[in-house]
Amino acid sequence: MKNVRPILYAWFALLTLLALTIGASFAPLGPVLPFVSYAIAIAKTVLIIWLFMEMKTRDGLQRIALGVGFAWLFILLLLSFADILTRGWLGA
Amino acid sequence: MPDARAVQPQFPTLERQNDADHFGMLLFLSTEVLIFGGVFAVAFTLRAEHADYAQASKQMHYWIGGINTGVLLTSSALVALMVEAVRAGRAKLAGWLLGGTIALGLVFLALKFTEYALEYRDGVVPILSDANLHGGVERLFMDLYFVATGLHALHVTVGLCLLGSLLWPFGRARRERTAVFAGNAALYWHLVDIVWVFLYPTLYLAR
């Protein structure tokens, strides 16, 4: 049971980030809110993947196996938003 | 299934077999990322296209979602400790940690369905109880909400069955110190947790 302490620290950090994300949603952040929300969600995900899913100690091939899902997701979102994000760049 | 101690004929060593088991699970989880990725792509598009998205999100019971996030994060920590216990040869402790994880998973589902009941009462459930749904973006949002949380609840149920199988009928998997089966079940549960970590701000906290 040598990895108990990192798991408990990660759990505490995750609950702190949860409190932070709820608090941030009530702050007057306006259009910045989604960026704050998803930055916190990504931080939580990194903690879960690195410590709970043990990617910290897995070899490169296993990290790639999990990483490809996120890589394809990034392409999906990039192409989905290629239209919306670039509207108006060339004028009306 | 899931006697990892026996080397199957296609693998030269047990270590290779264990690696392949983990590798296969991680590839499967990658495909799960893409299943939910489609749902998130829809949510992001809806939010980018319609300013009313935030109005619809404000009607959610964000505190139930918040408690449920805490419940899932805690269950994930317990399941990570369970894998550590299996590796340390403490099968009984692993059993208790699994019990705690499953209990929290059931709490999650109970809260989720309580929330569905509240939404039914509020009249914001498409088709079944839509007296207070005003169409347009609000309707699209609730459609998305039920597809996303329903698909997630289905995954929670599958995860609970997987973790439950480590109590029965595959209780002996808790005695395998390589923790191949226990580790793979834990990986699945963590992914279910990650999906919720993104669903929560997407559906409940858009203001």
Asked if B20 and B11 touch (Cβ cutoff 8 Å), the reply is yes
Mutate to test the interface with B, among A7, A64, A74, A76 (most CBs of B within 10 A): A7
Residue B203 and residue A43: Cα distance in Å, rounded? 18
Count of domains forming chain B: 1
Same domain, A24 and A67: no
Listed in sequence order, the residues at least 6 apart from B182 whose beta carbon sits closer than 8 Å to its beta carbon are: B82, B83, B86, B94, B166, B173, B174, B176
- Identify the H or E element spanning B116: helix B91-122
A84, B62: Cβ pair inside 8 Å? no
CA distance A7 to B78: 9
Say if residue A31 is in the same domain as residue A64. Answer: no
B198 to A14: CB separation less than 8 angstroms, yes or no: no
Give the count of beta carbons closer than 10 Å to the beta carbon of residue B47: 19
DSSP H or E run through A83? helix A60-86
Inspect the interface and report whether the beta carbons of A77 and B37 lie closer than 8 Å.
Answer: yes
State how far the Cα of A54 lies from the Cα of A46, in Å rounded to an integer.
Answer: 11
Which of B3-7, B169-173, B178-182, B196-200 reaches the highest mean pLDDT? B196-200
The per-residue pLDDT for range B142-190, each reduced to its tens digit, is 999 999 999 999 999 999 999 999 999 999 999 999 999 999 999 999 9
| Helix (H) or strand (E) segment spanning residue B69 | helix B62-87
Which among B37, B79, B200 has CB closest to A73? B37
Q: How many domains does chain A have?
A: 2
Rounded to the nearest integer, the mean pLDDT of chain B is 95
Asked if residue A47 and residue A10 are part of one domain, the reply reads yes
Return the amino acid letter for B132.
Answer: N
Give me the interface pTM, i.e. the ipTM: 0.95
Q: What percent of chain B has pLDDT over 70?
A: 98
Mean pLDDT of the region B183-207: 97
Residue B1: inside a domain, yes or no? no
Average pLDDT over residues B99-107: 98
What is the CATH classification number for the domain harbouring B26? 1.20.120.80
In a domain, B4, yes or no: no
| Residue A3, domain extent | 1-57
Task: Give the domain extent around B114.
Answer: 14-203
What mean pLDDT comes out for the span B44-53?
Answer: 92
Task: Name the band, by pLDDT with cuts 50, 70 and 90, for residue B5.
Answer: low
CA distance B132 to chain A (A): 25
Do A27 and A11 lie in one domain? The reply is yes
Query: B-chain residues within 8 Å CB-CB of A40?
Result: 201
Q: Is residue B77 within 8 Å of A52, Cβ to Cβ?
A: yes
- Give the pLDDT of residue A92: 61
Cα separation, B5 vs B65, in Å, equals 41
CA–CA min distance A92, chain B (Å): 17
Mutate to test the interface with B, among A5, A15, A48 (most CBs of B within 10 A): A48
pLDDT over 60 (residue B120): yes
Per-residue model confidence (pLDDT) at position B205: 96
DSSP 8-state class, residue B7: P
Cα separation, A49 vs B191, whole angstroms:
9
Residues A3 and A36 in one domain: yes
Smallest Cα distance from B11 to chain A, Å: 18
CB pairs under 8 A between A and B: 133
Same domain, A49 and A64: no
Q: Is B33 within 8 Å of A69 when comparing Cβ atoms? A: yes
A15 DSSP 8-state letter: H
End-to-end CA distance of chain A, in Å?
A: 62
Same domain, A7 and A47: yes
Per-residue confidence at A91, pLDDT binned at 50, 70, 90?
confident
pLDDT on residue B4: 47
User: Is A48 in the same domain as A71?
Assistant: no
Give A10-63 pLDDT, tens digit per residue.
999 999 999 999 999 999 998 899 999 999 999 999 999 999 999 999 999 999
With 60 as the cut, is the pLDDT of residue B79 above it?
yes
Whether the pLDDT of residue B39 is over 90: the answer is yes
Predicted confidence band at A6 (pLDDT cuts at 50, 70, 90)? very high
Nearest CA-CA distance, residue A90 and chain B, Å? 19
Span A69-90, mean pLDDT? 91
Whether B207 contacts A25, CB under 8 Å: yes
